[in-house]
Amino acid sequence: MDLQAEYDARDGNWFAKGSKLVRHPAEPVDPPVRHGLRAIPPGLHLVSTPIGAARDITLRALDILNGADVLVAEDTRTLRHLMEIHGVPLAGRPLIAHHDHSGDASLRGLLALLAEGKSMAYASEAGTPLISDPGFELARTVAAEGLPISAAPGPCAAICALTLSGLPSDRFLFAGFPPATSAARKTFLSEMASVQATLILYESPRRLGSLLADMAATLGADRNAAICRELTKRFEDVTRGTLGALAEAYDQHAVKGEVVVLVDRCSPVAANAEDIASALREALATMSVKDAASFVSHSLGIPRKLAYKAALDLDRL
């Protein structure tokens, strides 16, 4: 018996067949008693799970995993393991594998259960579902069909990395995984070169060196950046430096574990008086003097006082 079959048999796992849920031949072995159950409202509950340290699970996530009528996961083995760590029994409930490519039959099967009024937990392999992970198709369809949906927020590598990076956190752009080939990656990076926000990327450790080299070439070697590795795990490590220095340090240097790469926004190009006046004229067409000054001060990176004075002068004309 292969590992998956052995696992399924042990779990009494369920799977989608057409629009129906079918139980594997083996019956579940968990006792059907769950203590301290909280009533979980009907609908889809998107449950965030740890990205490393198992104790990062939230109490609410445990309540949902304990009380939901149906459990759905990108990887049923990972969810089962997490539940075992936290003493949450399956207790004969369906545990269904589902991801964005599981097909329409699987999706319709889950929707039918939600339409019957079942409470359903959905967890991806790690972290927040939908964030470079499956769950988007399911969540979008559930919302579009007017069925109830809620989220139990929790760990997310992008947010954890942002808080540790030392880079500005007031505005950020999460761009997921860059393309794997260098040409496509350079185009992808250059499209974000002038974005006034901290950029956050996920990357495989194998490609870290080549990503950093392309980032230094496309975004500029002087920009501040950070590499956050193995977050919440034993060998957690944050390395900060310019893109140029990091690209050099990681050139040919094999890295292990999971990584998030972050880079500071580009310095705003110094705006001249005509740029300021033209931006203000446009803003004043739809905004008050105060709002236009604040908007232009932000978008051109100039002092608010200067923008306000120029806006007043223009408004008087």
Q: Which residues bind ligand SAM (CB under 6 A)?
A: 51-52, 124, 126-128, 131-133, 156-158, 202-204, 228-233, 258-260
Residue 203 Cα distances to 24, 61, 87, 187, 246, angstroms: 37, 27, 33, 16, 15
Nearer Cβ to ligand SAM (131/193):
131
Distance of closest approach, residue 257 Cβ to ligand SAM, in angstroms: 7
Nearer Cβ to ligand SAM (142/227):
227
Nearer Cβ to ligand SAM (93/229):
229
Nearer Cβ to ligand SAM (50/244):
50
Q: CA Rg, the chain, in Å?
A: 25
Nearer Cβ to ligand SAM (11/133):
133
- The answer to whether residues 160 and 231 touch, using CB atoms and an 8 Å cutoff, is yes
The whole-angstrom distance between residue 180's C-alpha and the CA centroid of its chain comes to 19
- The answer to whether residues 260 and 237 touch, using CB atoms and an 8 Å cutoff, is no
Distance of closest approach, residue 159 Cβ to ligand SAM, in angstroms: 8
Cα torsion angle, 182, 188, 194, 196, sign: negative
Distance of closest approach, residue 237 Cβ to ligand SAM, in angstroms: 9
Gap between the terminal Cα atoms of the chain: 83
Distance of closest approach, residue 53 Cβ to ligand SAM, in angstroms: 9
Place of tokens 């997490």: 82
Nearer Cβ to ligand SAM (195/238):
238
Nearer Cβ to ligand SAM (214/258):
258
Distance of closest approach, residue 241 Cβ to ligand SAM, in angstroms: 18
For residue 265, what are its two tokens?
A: 């926004």
Distance of closest approach, residue 272 Cβ to ligand SAM, in angstroms: 40
Distance of closest approach, residue 61 Cβ to ligand SAM, in angstroms: 13
SS (H, E, C) 23-80: ECCCCCCCCCCCCCCCCCCCEEEEECECCCCHHHCCHHHHHHHHHCCEEEECCHHHHH
Strands 70-73 and 95-97: parallel
The CA distance from 31 to 38, in Å, is 18
For residue 139, what are its two tokens?
A: 């969540």
Largest CA distance in the chain: 83
Nearer Cβ to ligand SAM (28/209):
209
Q: Which residue is nearest to ligand SAM (CB)?
A: 127
Distance of closest approach, residue 95 Cβ to ligand SAM, in angstroms: 20
Q: Which residues pair with 240 in a beta bridge?
A: 226
